[in-house]
Amino acid sequence: MGTDRKRLAAEKAAGYLKDGMIVGLGTGSTAYWAIREIGRLVKEGLSIQAIATSKPSEAHARRLGIPLVTFKDVDRIDITIDGADEVDTQLQVIKGGGGALLREKIVASATKELIIIVDDEKLVDQLGRFPLPVEIVPFGSERTLRQLDALGCNPELRMHEDTPFVTDNGNYTADCRLGQIEKPYELHEAINRMVGVVDNGLFLDMAHRIIIGCSDGTVNEWEKR
């Protein structure tokens, strides 16, 4: 089952934590298992402090007794454990399916070692099969969507029931159906140059380690060279 693969990857990643670390807590179904494992380790005596990438992850951590801090308290994070929507063979990543890409990217950018945990269904030869999330400002969002469309991104405003989905930052998310991303660096820059775009879900050259839970019950690791 996919849940078992996610749990295996999460437990392996949590094994890299050491006393005294500042830890970034990711968001999503795979990160859920990492937070749960970290909570177990804290209960057994692991001494860490953590920064969460979303309100749901923060609430989950509080319930498990994981001590939380903010960027008022710390400037750097030792390890962040987070999931992903896609990972390619170059350790490039698409994130944001869970609606927390901006906070995830802020935390990742402050992290010495970003560990991405996935099941083997998230592995691709080329990014783009999963729609690329783009966080956009609500004001003028119609124009921003038209700009994304003109770039060839085929954007679709993410909805929650009958209203636009709103991120923890009060923004909207446009899911861009690209099929394949031929030039990820150029696309990243072109999207982020648009007025009205906050950031996008391409996490390029940010992951240091990919931990993969496989269908046969094994766990593989890819490390940045």
Q: Give me the mean pLDDT over the 176-194 stretch.
A: 97
- Spot the catalytic one: 11, 58, 86, 104: 104
pLDDT digits (tens, 9 = 90+) for 23-60: 999 999 999 999 999 999 999 999 999 999 999 999 99
Number of helices followed by number of strands (H, E) in the chain: 6, 15
pLDDT tens-place string over residues 208-221: 999 999 999 999 99
165 in the same domain as 118 = no
- 137 and 114 housed in the same domain: no
Same domain assignment for residues 88 and 19: yes
| Position 108 pLDDT exceeds 70 | yes
**Amino acid found at 26:** G
Same domain for 147 and 101: no
Indicate if 112 and 176 belong to the same structural domain.
Answer: no
**Judgement on whether residues 193 and 209 belong to the same structural domain of the protein:** no
CATH number for position 146: 3.30.70.260
* Domain total of the chain: 2
Q: How many residues does the chain have?
A: 225
Catalytic site includes residue 121: no
Q: Do 167 and 56 lie in a common domain? A: no
Report the relative pairing of strands 111-119 and 132-136 from DSSP bridges.
unpaired
